[in-house]
Structure 1
Amino acid sequence: MSEPRIDYAAVFQDLPGAVLLLTPQFVIVDVNEALLRVSGREREHLVGRYLIDVFPDNPGDPEATGSRNLLASLRRVVSTGTTDTMALQRYDVEPPGRPGVFEERYWSPVNAPVLGPDGKVQLVIHRVEEVTELIRARREAGGNRERLEAELYTRAQELQAVNERLRAAHARERQVALALQDAMLPAPRPVGHHRAAVRYQPAVGALNVCGDWYALDDLPGDRMAVAVGDVVGHGLAAACVMGQLRSALSAATLVVGGPARALEVLGRYAGSVDGAESTTAVQVVIDWAAHTLTYSSAGHPPPALLRPGGSVEFLDRATDPPLGARPDHVARPEAHTPFTDGTVLVLYTDGLIERRREDIDVGLARLADSLTRHQGAAPEALADALLSELIPPGGATDDTALVIIRL
């Protein structure tokens, strides 16, 4: 008796849970009927578009972190090739036909990879269960919101523990990749008469190293371009991609005007480099004569500015999606901010602040607190203090690049 033929496309559409299929650059490839119902969208308004363009955070809510947390989870899936179960998220949604109006919604998301024959992530499954009515029912019944979120968070942790798998160690590849990384990254050097420190700390896992990089490029006048970046992937492949992108950004910086244009050029180049998709990067141009910083970010965590009085400002007013994330070219944003002598600029990669099962805002707050407590320290001492305090005692699961310059 022959096996029945299964129409998997029909099965996908009939799944009871809401599901999106995404590219590794987080562009929507397909969507099932349950997702259309729960979101109130039409298929033609979703397929082919960048996920966060379709479902942005509420711009009127300064506390909104839904899109940031979702992108952090999706990047972990693409980087590690493992499922990531998120904590309960409040992610408000614009109802159809009412642009600019956001309804309070709560979601329980799970993101999972679809691996190709070569072991690389070809698609990402984004499954989401709306629990808004459950939240409202518990509120109406006098339930405790904090207790409900704690229960759902515990459930997410249990699911994550089931889905996570340890990856085999490849010690030799790690050693070769680290040697290649070390050869490609510039050695510490004086920054004119300014004090600077650079660090690269590899991850504890053999498969999670060699995607992070930094670059310092002298510009005409008393100016310098400082950048950090993070390639999705690991091992020798990530180290090779890292070297190409770092060199391309340095070359672009010398011939175009400003960090936004440099990242635009880098984004176009990344489209021709296998493995460069979804790379994040941020560049800051320091003008010591004008006492200004000009910056632009491609999906990267925001640089930190430690003011002489001890306050910390995150440079987050010029953030755009990662390299190659948009199907079409769009000009990147750029922002400026003044600084006074004694200000400290800190650029870093996500290994310094991101932790599994933790909102990125927690890591940013931890970084700000450490910077404030160590204000006045020389860049070298400050770099050592940040790595000592912010990297877990057993080591991070992602590598970390760090650049500190006293302005």
Structure 2
Amino acid sequence: MAEAGVDYAAVFRSLPGAIGLLTPQLVFADANEAFLRQAGRTREQVVGRHLFDAFPGQPHDPETAGMRNLEASLRRVLDGEASDVMPVQRYDVETVPGRWEERYWSPVNAPVFGPDGRVVLVIHRVEEVTELIRAADGRGAGLRVEAELYSRLRELEEVNQRLRLAHAREREVALALQEAMLPPARPIRRHRTAVRYQPATAALNVCGDWYDLEPLLGGDRIAVTVGDVVGHGLAAAVVMGQLRSALSAASLVAAGPAQALDALGRYAHFLDGAESTTAVTCFIDWDRRTISYSSAGHLPPVLLHTGAVAELLDGATDPPLDAHPEPTPRPQAAVPFAPGDLLVLYTDGLVERRGEDIDTGLDRLVASVRRHHGLPGPGELADAVLGDLLPAEGATDDTALVIVCL
């Protein structure tokens, strides 16, 4: 298909990210060159074949759950009509007959809707992260993360350039990017969470705010992040997606949130449009009942203890990404939590108002969280807080909100 002088079929084939298109019956409708190359398959071996014929279970290790997990994710997308960001999965590659090499993959599945509102295709994007996982097992993991991030820089910039060519369909592309890049609301392991994204009324429906919730390796731990890219529209959305993916990869092998933001800051130095981005990331450890956090110029998360006692996590705040002329280690702090506490992360659209001191907005947020802390779940609390804080006529900046039940 070509519109406004852009051959979108050619763009799809040339995208450096590995993407396959599946019908609701899980048959490959198409796959781009990066997908085929990464999978080690020809087009004839993939297109027109059922997913599990093209990629069968692992005969050498029938207990490997990667493909079962993938099928469950795709069913969630088809049934719930929402994107699904999967944890890292293992699916080995047969390098020579009878010899298998351990590989790890990071899949994302997103729906494509037809004119009647039904799902007609599923975007299956998969990225190999084997080297990042291996780096976590040895010394010098931080340097290896940096090398991996830098090696992907050119590929990410090419995606950015191709998306800019679709100027005539900027709004549609931006909305699709928002849905594909931001994870949907879902429990992380056994923990209840709520996420909300509210676009600004005076701008495109997608800007530079992002959030992420990712399981971490080793123990009952997850990483929770919110961030804000300067600017609006498609360009900011692309930078947002690149930073979110890079931080997600770095968090898997980082010793803590400060090291993850260190790696992200070095990456942002080479990414146009990433300067002055703010972000705060928290590593929640249920085994030790602690929250480790670090902030790159972002507003402080709120930790609501049982009894409605609110604590602002402002003990490890540093300037935004790429603010220092030379890489400087970021600060990190940790606080304990108890069962029943709530962690609230957000972007500035929730609390900042023109002509008003930021402390006034923070006080308003804390009061709202205290007032509604008795609601039955994080989703109800998120909706109540948005109802209290966002203007009835609509906010002038977009807003992301994440709530985690501890």
TM-score, normalised with respect to structure 2: 0.57
Residue 278 (structure 1) aligns with: 276
Does structure 2 conserve the Cα–Cα contact (< 8 Å) formed by 1:212 and 1:349? yes
1:297-324 CA deviation, whole Å, 9 max, x = no partner? 0000000011111011110000000001
C-alpha distance in 1 between matches for 2:383 and 2:205: 22
Does structure 2 conserve the Cα–Cα contact (< 8 Å) formed by 1:171 and 1:206? no
1:277-312 CA deviation, whole Å, 9 max, x = no partner? 000000000000111000000000000011111011
**1:171 to partner: Cα distance:** 11
Where 1:197 maps in the other structure, the secondary structure is strand
Note if 1:192 corresponds to 2:192.
Answer: no
Residue 173 (structure 2) aligns with: 176
1:69-104 CA deviation, whole Å, 9 max, x = no partner? xxxxxxxxxxxxxxxxxxxxxxxxxxxxxxxxxxxx
**1:212 to partner: Cα distance:** 0.4
Note if 1:233 corresponds to 2:223.
Answer: no
Where 2:345 maps in the other structure, the secondary structure is strand
User: Which amino acid counterpart does residue 317 of structure 1 have in structure 2?
Assistant: G
**1:209 to partner: Cα distance:** 3.8
C-alpha distance in 1 between matches for 2:374 and 2:404: 12
Residue 338 (structure 1) aligns with: 336
User: Which amino acid counterpart does residue 405 of structure 2 have in structure 1?
Assistant: R
Does structure 1 conserve the Cα–Cα contact (< 8 Å) formed by 2:175 and 2:205? no
User: Which amino acid counterpart does residue 277 of structure 1 have in structure 2?
Assistant: E
User: Which amino acid counterpart does residue 388 of structure 1 have in structure 2?
Assistant: G
Residue 247 (structure 2) aligns with: 249
Q: Which residue, 281, 290, 293 being the options, matches 2:291?
A: 293
Where 1:231 maps in the other structure, the secondary structure is strand
C-alpha distance in 2 between matches for 1:346 and 1:226: 10
Structure 2: stretches of 5+ with no match in the other structure: 1-166
1:368-392 CA deviation, whole Å, 9 max, x = no partner? 0000100122100001001111011
Q: Greater shift after overlay, 383-392 or 177-186?
A: 177-186
1:107-131 CA deviation, whole Å, 9 max, x = no partner? xxxxxxxxxxxxxxxxxxxxxxxxx
Residue 144 (structure 2) aligns with: none
Q: Show the 5 A alignment for 1:215-230.
A: 215-219=212-216, 220-230=218-228
Where 1:284 maps in the other structure, the secondary structure is strand
C-alpha distance in 1 between matches for 2:175 and 2:388: 23
- Structure 1 segments, 4+ long, off by >4 Å, are none
C-alpha distance in 2 between matches for 1:171 and 1:207: 14
C-alpha distance in 2 between matches for 1:268 and 1:375: 38
C-alpha distance in 2 between matches for 1:243 and 1:382: 27
User: Which amino acid counterpart does residue 385 of structure 2 have in structure 1?
Assistant: L
**1:175 to partner: Cα distance:** 4.2
Residue 397 (structure 1) aligns with: 396
C-alpha distance in 2 between matches for 1:290 and 1:206: 43
Does structure 2 conserve the Cα–Cα contact (< 8 Å) formed by 1:214 and 1:401? yes
Does structure 2 conserve the Cα–Cα contact (< 8 Å) formed by 1:256 and 1:262? yes
TM-score, normalised with respect to structure 1: 0.57
C-alpha distance in 2 between matches for 1:233 and 1:210: 7
Where 1:182 maps in the other structure, the secondary structure is helix
C-alpha distance in 2 between matches for 1:171 and 1:291: 50
Residue 208 (structure 2) aligns with: 211
- The number of residues matched between the two structures is 238
C-alpha distance in 2 between matches for 1:182 and 1:391: 22
C-alpha distance in 2 between matches for 1:173 and 1:355: 28
**1:176 to partner: Cα distance:** 3.2
Does structure 2 conserve the Cα–Cα contact (< 8 Å) formed by 1:209 and 1:398? no
Does structure 2 conserve the Cα–Cα contact (< 8 Å) formed by 1:174 and 1:206? no
User: Which amino acid counterpart does residue 376 of structure 1 have in structure 2?
Assistant: G
Where 2:230 maps in the other structure, the secondary structure is coil
Q: Show the 5 A alignment for 1:6-405.
A: 173-207=170-204, 209-219=206-216, 220-377=218-375, 378-405=377-404
Does structure 2 conserve the Cα–Cα contact (< 8 Å) formed by 1:185 and 1:213? yes
C-alpha distance in 2 between matches for 1:388 and 1:172: 32
Structure 1: stretches of 5+ with no match in the other structure: 1-169
Does structure 2 conserve the Cα–Cα contact (< 8 Å) formed by 1:212 and 1:231? yes
C-alpha distance in 1 between matches for 2:172 and 2:359: 33
**1:254 to partner: Cα distance:** 0.5
User: Which amino acid counterpart does residue 218 of structure 1 have in structure 2?
Assistant: P
User: Which amino acid counterpart does residue 278 of structure 2 have in structure 1?
Assistant: T
C-alpha distance in 1 between matches for 2:204 and 2:269: 24
C-alpha distance in 2 between matches for 1:358 and 1:372: 22
C-alpha distance in 2 between matches for 1:193 and 1:339: 17
Where 1:211 maps in the other structure, the secondary structure is strand
**1:180 to partner: Cα distance:** 1.3
**Cα–Cα, structure 1 residues 268 and 310, in superposed 2: closer, same or farther, change >3 Å?**
same
